A and B are shown apart, each in its own frame.
Chain A
């Protein structure tokens, strides 16, 4: 499955990446599994996406919870809780 990853704000800065196209193994089916898959890359991923960190995620530009299933070709974004207004 292919995905377009997006990172914003403090995550974007800490990872040094704002956008990335990746192909993931068939075993990675949900957002939380994708997060674990990225953590396996080691630092800085393991630190920035660590389980204890409060993150928000969006699938195709809609906020979703961690157990949401991924779809081929989807845009998946990770970011910190929002602070606008």
Chain B
């Protein structure tokens, strides 16, 4: 049994509830790795008062499904979950959760990092920050492109 779950939503989520549901009734699981992304109050030297996340409904779900399928083809993992929030968010808010279950930690760690690196460069989300100097669209990070590219070198 192998399953993936993708949710794009405005509302917040509860990490422990999500993890419990992900590994429920699956005694094969010996490792759960999760990544939680949160809103910082500083970016590129400016204070961030809040942000709005826009996405491309329809394509977002397809892009994430492709990423999860690639992770499953590459590592021996069981369940995968991506929750990404959209709409208005404030500093300290949770933005994104990626969680992976596996028999052993090595596969789960690698798959979780892979999913997150690909999400950063291939899933159609855009952040607009509210700063004291006005609203601005966040620029793409060169380090994000590099983080994704390294998965193709090995």
Chain A positions near chain B (C-beta within 8 angstroms): 6, 8-10, 54, 58, 61-63, 77, 79-85
Contacts and interface: CB of A to CB of B under 8 A. Distances in A.
Contacts, number: 72
A85 B126 CA distance: 9
B122 A8 contact: no
Prevailing SS type, chain B contact patch:
mixed
Interface residues of B, number: 29
A8 B96 CA distance: 20
Contacts of A54: 140
Contact of A77 (B59, B122, B123, B140): B59
Give the residue among B59, B127, B141 with the most A Cβ atoms within 10 A: B59
Interface stretch (B19-27, B49-57, B73-81, B100-108): B49-57
B62 A82 contact: no
A61 B127 contact: no
